[in-house]
């Protein structure tokens, strides 16, 4: 995918943040706020070019819009991306972001994402009140609980009533992936796990009695479920050739390199749990805590399993991919409202 493929006109606001003295370059993308304020965390990552960072911000912000709409959260999609650079002053970057978020006056509410730690959020919080107070760890735990509920439903769809009959291959053992691995191990699932941080993977394999797999081999494990919990874009033309799992259900955002890959998975009979549904636990928790002043009950997060069940059934009936069904349902909700941006 490249910038040409984005309907830039679909975005309400795209900001470029620069502070040359501190080698800071960051983007804030606000996709659609007709349902409410934009929610989306801050990703700090090393990109091959600034344009790749901008594309990531756009893609992630758009996914947040779908996530809010499909899960009934009165909010929209936003995302911040810091283009990491060895010369960058990290504190200055988060401070600049915080200042911009504050200037938006509540149109955008931010929080953690890959590369952003609790101490970074503290820095952002010194500049703005519009940042999730919950630590990244707390949100990751809620996200993991939702993904776990989703994997339980996926297992049922594959004909397994209990997880101890199920083999899950997990890619990425960070905040979310490690917690999913723990929940699955407790439920008796057979696990194959990997992470590019090899020491971390080795230790987890020992602690959880899981099989340790090289990062490049995880897709070819003959598992029931492949759980992508690292970065997006893992399902593409090449990886589809090596995929051995019967289903895909994990926490990563933008798992499919393109929507066509979702259709191809459906054609091949590989069950795909749309990422913006299965990984919505952290968003539901963070957004509703902000909007209602208290966190939603755990049942709201576990309901992700039921949402997926309905999507899978509709997909089967309609002969369309779960991704298409979930996307249509999100767009329907969105288009019920006139395209008027949220103003606090
Ligand atoms: P994290 O940075 O804590 O963990 C990512 C892990 O993946 C790291 O341990 C990293 O070493 C590993 N990794 C990176 N590339 C890899 C590869 N090619 N093979 C194997 N391992 C690899 O991030 P996280 O918070 O756990 O989030 C994981 C994914 O879930 C991300 O895509 C994120 O956008 C998505 N997500 C997270 C949340 C949340 O609440 N944290 C919510 C929704 C979606």
Please state, in angstroms and rounded to a whole number, the distance separating the CA atoms of residues 68 and 277.
9
Whether 62 contacts 39, CB under 8 Å: no
Please state, in angstroms and rounded to a whole number, the distance separating the CA atoms of residues 31 and 11.
4
Mutate to test the pocket of ligand 1, among 176, 217, 233 (most ligand atoms within 8 A of CB): 176
Residue with CA at minimum distance from ligand 1 atom 2: 114
Residues 247-258 pLDDT 10s? 999 999 999 999
Tell me, what's the pLDDT at 8?
74
The pTM score is 0.94
Nearest atom in ligand 1 to the alpha carbon of residue 252 is 32
Catalytic (active site) residue 79 = yes
242 closest CA partner among 266, 211, 214, 216: 216
- Segments of the chain scoring below 50 in pLDDT: 1-3
Which residue among 67, 79, 190, 246 is the active-site one?
79
Residue with CA at minimum distance from ligand 1 atom 43: 279
CB 254 near ligand 1, within 6 Å? no
Tell me, what's the pLDDT at 70?
94
Beta-strand (E) ranges in the chain?
Answer: 13-19, 24-32, 38-39, 42-45, 76-83, 108-109, 167-171, 190-194, 211-212, 225-228, 247-248, 271-272
For 118, the token pair is: 């609790």
CB 195 near ligand 1, within 6 Å? yes
Tell me, what's the pLDDT at 118?
87
CB 181 near ligand 1, within 6 Å? no
With a pLDDT cut of 70, the percent of the chain lying above it is: 97
Place of tokens 């590989």: 270
Domains (range + CATH), the chain:
3-131 (3.40.50.10860), 138-327 (3.40.50.720)
Distance 113 CA to ligand 1 centre (A): 8
Whether 2 contacts 55, CB under 8 Å: yes
HSE-CB for 221 with a 13 A CA cutoff:
27
Tell me, what's the pLDDT at 2?
45
Nearest atom in ligand 1 to the alpha carbon of residue 250 is 30
Residue with CA at minimum distance from ligand 1 atom 30: 252
Distance 336 CA to ligand 1 centre (A): 33
CB 71 near ligand 1, within 6 Å? no
Cα Rg of the chain (Å, integer): 19
Q: What distances in angstroms separate CA 37 from CA 59, 116, 230, 264, 341, one per listed residue?
A: 18, 21, 27, 34, 9
108 pairs with which residues across the strands?
A: 38
Distance 183 CA to ligand 1 centre (A): 17
308 closest CA partner among 170, 191, 194, 146: 146
Distance 191 CA to ligand 1 centre (A): 18
Nearest atom in ligand 1 to the alpha carbon of residue 143 is 40
CB 230 near ligand 1, within 6 Å? yes
């Amino acid at each position: 995918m490249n910038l040409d493929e984005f309907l830039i006109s679909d975005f309400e606001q795209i900001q470029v943040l620069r502070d040359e003295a501190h080698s800071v370059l960051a983007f804030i993308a606000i996709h659609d706020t007709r349902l409410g304020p934009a929610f989306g965390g801050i990703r700090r990552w090393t990109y091959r070019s600034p344009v790749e960072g901008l594309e990531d911000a756009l893609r992630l912000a758009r996914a947040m819009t779908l996530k809010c709409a499909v899960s009934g959260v009165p909010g929209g999609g936003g995302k911040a991306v810091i283009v990491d650079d060895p010369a960058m002053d990290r504190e200055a970057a988060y401070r600049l972001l915080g200042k911009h978020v504050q200037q938006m006056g509540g149109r955008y509410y931010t929080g953690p994402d890959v590369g952003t730690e609790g101490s970074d959020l503290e820095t952002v919080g010194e500049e703005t009140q519009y940042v999730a107070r919950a630590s990244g760890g707390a949100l990751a735990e809620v996200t993991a609980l939702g993904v776990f509920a989703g994997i339980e439903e996926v297992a049922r769809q594959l004909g397994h009533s209990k997880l101890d009959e199920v083999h899950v291959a997990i890619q990425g053992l960070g905040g979310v992936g490690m917690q999913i691995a723990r929940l699955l191990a407790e439920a008796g699932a057979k696990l194959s796990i990997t992470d590019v941080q090899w020491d971390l993977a080795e230790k987890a394999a020992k602690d959880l009695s899981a099989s340790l797999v090289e990062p490049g081999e995880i897709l070819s494990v003959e598992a029931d479920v492949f759980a992508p919990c690292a970065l997006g874009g893992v399902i593409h033309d090449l990886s589809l050739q090596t995929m051995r799992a019967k289903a895909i259900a994990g926490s990563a955002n933008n798992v499919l390199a393109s929507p066509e890959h979702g259709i191809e998975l459906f054609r091949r009979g590989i069950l795909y749990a749309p990422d913006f549904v299965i990984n919505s636990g952290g968003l539901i928790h963070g957004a509703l805590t902000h909007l209602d002043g208290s966190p939603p009950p755990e049942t709201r997060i576990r309901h992700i399993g039921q949402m997926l069940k309905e999507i899978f059934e509709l997909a089967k009936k309609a002969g369309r991919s779960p991704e298409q069904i979930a996307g249509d349902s999100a767009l329907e909700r969105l288009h019920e409202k006139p395209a008027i941006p949220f103003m606090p």
